[in-house]
Amino acid sequence: MTRIKIFKTYTVLLRGFIFFGSIYSLFGIYMLFKALRNGFSASFPSGDWNDLIFILEGLLFILMGVINLANKKYYLEWDDTELHLFLPDTKKPETIIFEEIESVNIKLFEIQLIFNDRTRIIDLNSLPAEDLKIVKNMFEQRSYKQKKITDNN
């Protein structure tokens, strides 16, 4: 089986975002409580607003890490008979049997699979160029019931 991840992520980097975001937030919370205990200075450029900025910055780092770790689970996987999909648009695993495909329309960042009773569009915008070529070649090398339509627009 060949498997291609939809989003290329580096787990160490994402965990680093979460770690440093936590440190920034904790430091900002500590400094905010210290400022509130000593009297919060509300003057804008030189006041205690940096504490709130540290908290917000840390939360944004944590959010960025968590969202990208959640996107790590999406994939395309295939063998000789089946295509397994887990994509962000449906958010559930899906299996497509190659024999059921009537024809394929390959576009620049999209593959349209035409079945007897329905059409399935696979959006490939998030794939790197190398993986995009691998997926397109996989669909081009297979034979289908009708003649394949290839469009590069």
Integer-rounded Cα radius of gyration of the chain: 24
| Whether residue 53 sits in one domain with residue 12 | yes
Structural domain of residue 129, as residue ranges?
75-150
Same domain? 24 vs 79: no
**Domain end residue (candidates: 71, 99, 130):** 71
Last residue of a domain, one of 17, 50, 71: 71
Q: Mean of the per-residue pLDDT values for the chain? A: 87
Q: Are residues 92 and 114 in the same domain?
A: yes
**Would you say residue 65 has pLDDT above 80?**
yes
Residue 75 corresponds to which amino acid?
Answer: Y
* Judgement on whether residues 62 and 12 belong to the same structural domain of the protein: yes
How many domains does the chain fold into?
2
Predicted model pTM: 0.68
- Please tell me whether residues 16 and 80 are part of one structural domain: no
Is a pLDDT exceeding 60 seen at residue 153? no
pLDDT tens profile 101-138: 888 999 988 999 998 889 999 998 888 889 999 999 98
Do 37 and 98 share a domain, yes or no?
no
Alpha carbon distances (Å) from 47 to 3, 10, 23, 38, 44: 53, 38, 21, 12, 5
Reading the block at residue 12, the tokens are 């160490």
- Going by pLDDT thresholds of 50, 70 and 90, the confidence category of residue 14 is very high
Residue where a domain terminates, one of 41, 71, 101: 71
Q: Which of 68-72, 140-144, 149-153 has the lowest mean pLDDT?
A: 149-153
Q: Are residues 6 and 27 in the same domain?
A: yes
Label residue 8 by pLDDT band (50, 70, 90). Answer: confident
Domain co-membership, 104 together with 142: yes
63 and 84 in a single domain? The answer is: no
Q: Do residues 60 and 20 lie in contact, with contact meaning Cβ atoms separated by under 8 Å? A: no
The answer on 119 and 134 residing in a single domain is yes
Taking alpha carbons only, the member of 38, 151, 69, 46 closest to residue 104 is 151
Domain containing residue 82: CATH number = 2.30.29
Q: 42 falls in which pLDDT band (50, 70, 90)? A: confident
Q: What number is the average pLDDT over the span 24-33?
A: 93
Q: Within this chain, do residues 100 and 143 fall inside the same structural domain, yes or no?
A: yes
Sheet hosting strand 94-97, strand order edge to edge: 2-5, 75-78, 82-86, 94-97
